[in-house]
């Protein structure tokens, strides 16, 4: 593990201010590979690197980066704890989680602790650049294909958000402080769900659309303004995977796009209830199967551009 370090200022002649970025990963090769890749991007300035979460927290205090690329599984202090500490202390520093496949639960926990998005390890230069610049602007970006457990967590998160919203509205008269806290958490969860790479559609009991996130716009072609308050254009999905049933083998389902075309999707569904247990609507998590089919058609394709092929070291800390 290398010692945490700071880099000298980059070229002052850049056309626009570069996004000051800190890289945190306990694997030397990954950390150095990321630093070399980002050094070639004129809109990003790598101001330092850290090998664990404790070093990251100290360097954020010292260097005040705009963005932190944070690995999750590290010694001394893991990325989850470090993300919470940084988000609580530095509102002007955005944390982007660097996730490996299988880290779904950690990703959701980090996002709920204040991370501003996540990237799969192996993301290319364009994905890194867009995510870093978006985070610096205060936007939330989530990329990569979601596994079933993470989809389940997203549904659980939205269900929690809806319950908090209902509780806050019901109790705002006497519990103003709790109402404000619930509103803040609700806003954070809403931002996470809007940035999710899967479609999030919330409907009421009359099947009118109450939420339609950016991924739903991409999948179906309709904007939120087109559909909010109106009946769901695909009200009876021919294929649905209910969360209580556990994992299921996906089967293509045909839905209609705004242009009249067909899109193949898989849907996870969950009922939404108020504090008294009455059903208020439904949440649907829609996964576009097109990209999955493309990946299956190219089983040997590798996305990695900066993660080296290194053997897992036999030690107690699992690699993120």
What's the average pLDDT block by block, 10 residues per block, for the chain (320 residues)? 49 66 93 92 94 95 96 90 90 87 68 79 84 84 56 63 64 58 63 73 90 89 93 67 42 80 83 78 80 57 50 45
Contact 115, 96 (CB under 8 A): yes
CATH number of 5-142: 3.40.50.2300
β-strand pairing of 199-204 with 241-242: unpaired
Q: What confidence score (pLDDT) does residue 54 get?
A: 95
Separation of CA 304 from chain center: 19
Query: Which residues, other chains included, contact 20 with Cβ-Cβ below 8 Å and sequence gap of 6+?
Result: 45, 47, 63, 64, 65, 66, 67
Q: How many CB atoms lie within 10 A of CB 58?
A: 12
CATH architecture, range 148-297: 2-Layer Sandwich (3.30)
Residue 221 Ramachandran class (φ > 0 left, ψ -120 to 50 alpha, else beta): left
Domain ranges of the chain: 5-142, 148-297
Q: What is the 3-state secondary structure (H, E, C) of the chain?
A: CCCCEECCCCCCCCCCCCEEEEEECCCHHHHHHHHHHHHCCCCEEEEEEECCHHHHHHHHHHHCCCEEEEECCCCCCCHHHHHHHHHHHCCCCEEEEEECCCCHHHHHHHHHCCCCEEEECCCCHHHHHHHHHHHHCCCCEECCCCCHHHHHHHHHHHHHHHHHHHHHHHHCCCCHHHHHHHHHHHHHHHHHHHHCCCEEEEEECCCEEEEECHHHHHHHCCCHHHHCCCECCCCCCCCCEEHHHCCCCCCCEEEECCCCCEEEEEEEEEEEECCCCCEEEEEEEEEECHHHHHHHHCCCCCCCCCCCCCCCCCCCCCCC
Instruction: Pull the structure tokens for residue 128.
Output: 């890194």
Contact 25, 34 (CB under 8 A): yes
Q: Give the separation between CA 172 and CA 57, rounded to whole angstroms.
A: 36
Q: What confidence score (pLDDT) does residue 182 get?
A: 59
Q: What confidence score (pLDDT) does residue 117 get?
A: 80
Instruction: Pull the structure tokens for residue 196.
Output: 């999710």
pTM, whole model, 2 decimals?
0.56
Query: Which residues, other chains included, contact 200 with Cβ-Cβ below 8 Å and sequence gap of 6+?
Result: 154, 158, 193, 194, 211, 212, 213, 215, 216, 283, 284, 285, 286
């Amino acid at each position: 593990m290398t010692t945490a370090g700071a880099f000298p200022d980059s070229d002052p002649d850049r056309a626009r201010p570069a996004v000051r970025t800190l890289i945190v990963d306990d694997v030397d090769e990954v950390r150095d590979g990321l630093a070399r890749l980002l050094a070639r991007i004129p809109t990003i300035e790598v101001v330092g690197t850290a090998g664990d979460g404790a070093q990251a927290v100290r360097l954020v205090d010292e260097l005040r980066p705009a963005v932190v690329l944070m690995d999750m599984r590290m010694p001394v202090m893991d990325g989850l704890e470090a993300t919470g500490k940084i988000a609580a202390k530095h509102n002007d520093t955005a944390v982007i989680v660097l996730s490996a496949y299988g880290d779904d639960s950690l990703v959701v926990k980090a996002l709920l602790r204040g991370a501003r998005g996540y990237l799969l390890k192996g993301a290319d230069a364009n994905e890194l650049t867009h995510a870093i610049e978006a985070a610096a602007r205060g936007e939330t970006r989530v990329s990569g294909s979601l596994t079933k457990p993470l989809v389940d967590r997203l549904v659980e998160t939205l269900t929690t958000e809806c319950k908090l919203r209902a509780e806050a509205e019901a109790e705002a008269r006497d519990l103003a402080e709790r109402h404000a806290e619930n509103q803040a958490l609700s806003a954070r969860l809403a931002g996470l769900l809007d940035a999710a790479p899967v479609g999030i559609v919330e409907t009421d009991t009359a099947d009118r659309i109450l939420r339609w996130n950016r991924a739903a716009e991409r999948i179906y072609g309709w904007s939120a303004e087109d559909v909010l308050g109106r009946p769901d254009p695909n009200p009876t999905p021919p294929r649905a995977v209910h969360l209580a049933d556990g994992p299921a083998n996906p089967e293509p389902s045909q839905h209609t796009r705004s242009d009249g075309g067909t899109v193949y999707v898989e849907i996870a569904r969950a009922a939404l209830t108020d504090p008294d247990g009455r059903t208020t609507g439904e949440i649907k998590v829609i996964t576009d199967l097109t990209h999955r089919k493309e990946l299956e058609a190219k089983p040997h394709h590798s996305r990695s551009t900066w993660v080296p092929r290194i053997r897992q070291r036999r030690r107690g800390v699992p690699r993120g």
